[in-house]
Amino acid sequence: MSRKLVSFDWAMKKILRQKANFVILEGFLTELLKFDVKIEEVLESEANQENEDDKFNRVDLLAKNESGQLILIEVQYSSEIDYFQRMLYGSSKLITEYISKGDSGYKNIKKVYSVNIVYFALGQGEDYVYYGKTEFRGLHKKDDILRPSKRQQEDFGIDTISDIYPEYYILRVNQFNDIAKNSLDEWIYFLKNEEIKSDFKAKGLNEAKETLDIMKLDDKARAIYKRKEENKMYKNSLLYTAKLKGIEEGEKRGVEKGKKEREIEIAKNLLLANMDIEFISKTTGLSVEEIEELRDL
């Protein structure tokens, strides 16, 4: 019987940053990226808030492997309509932040991998794992992909032009059907269900099973984790209830004004629940100014 484990986002904050536990992250990234990953260090990232009352249910971890490549792993629970744009912003920011100011030219730009684990319906599609990279294809010859010259291959240590540009992975966890057909699916099963089956063999999962066992946490850590899970359930309940009430009130006011009225009703309910104004703005689409006016009524 499988044991209940701590969620991956909490592990990223509290456990996986320790060098002794790099093997867990290395296993996950090796299964996803399909090449052997050895982490040299975990770097500081701005979204890693220590506040247990993190309104946006978001956490990230920035790792550098032995080749100097940057791997940004982000977990997000709350829906965000401009998430694709933020993926681009995050990778672009890393590139500019980690190029040495003394470098001549752009030779030493860091390769960036952006790994996005989302628990909401991001975009439209039937799969639960998506991959994106940059290629330059001929407009007249569709099968002609632009390649680096021999000199560029030698100087920059690349085989293709896409080796320079960021690569993106999106794991839409809630779309996974819980049937693990391969080692990556075993990891996604853990990400979704917070448990690891006894017959799973993916790299890093055996160590995860031992290290992330809730029952092996000390009393203080277990209490903090329990409070975090209870807070998540409470926030989700508030948001769900607020949306339902907003829809009910909006439907009473007719189709034409319904959308705006629903947003206002949702905002009112979230204000009553003492939720953060910026969070309410992201949730409803109302401006901060509109929400402040509602608060002051």
* Distances in whole angstroms, Cα of residue 273 to Cα of each of 128, 235, 237, 269: 33, 9, 11, 6
Query: Model pTM?
Result: 0.73
Give the model's pLDDT for residue 224.
Answer: 65
Give the model's pLDDT for residue 5.
Answer: 82
Give the model's pLDDT for residue 28.
Answer: 96
Q: Which two tokens stand for residue 33?
A: 């990226």
Q: How far from chain centre, in Å, is Cα 174?
A: 13
Q: Which two tokens stand for residue 127?
A: 């799969």
Give the model's pLDDT for residue 232.
Answer: 63
Give the model's pLDDT for residue 199.
Answer: 93
* H or E segment and range at residue 233: helix 219-252
Going residue by residue through the chain, which has 297 residues, state the pLDDT in tens, using 9 for 90 and above. 555 788 888 888 888 888 999 999 999 999 999 999 999 988 866 544 444 444 445 678 999 999 899 999 999 888 888 999 999 999 999 998 888 655 567 888 899 999 999 998 899 999 999 999 999 999 999 899 999 999 999 999 999 999 999 999 999 999 999 999 999 999 999 999 989 999 999 999 999 998 888 656 666 666 666 666 656 665 667 666 776 777 666 666 555 566 777 888 888 888 777 777 888 888 888 888 888 888 777
Instruction: Report the distance separating Cα 29 and Cα 14, nearest Å.
Output: 18
How many alpha carbons fall within 13 Å on the CB side of residue 246? 22
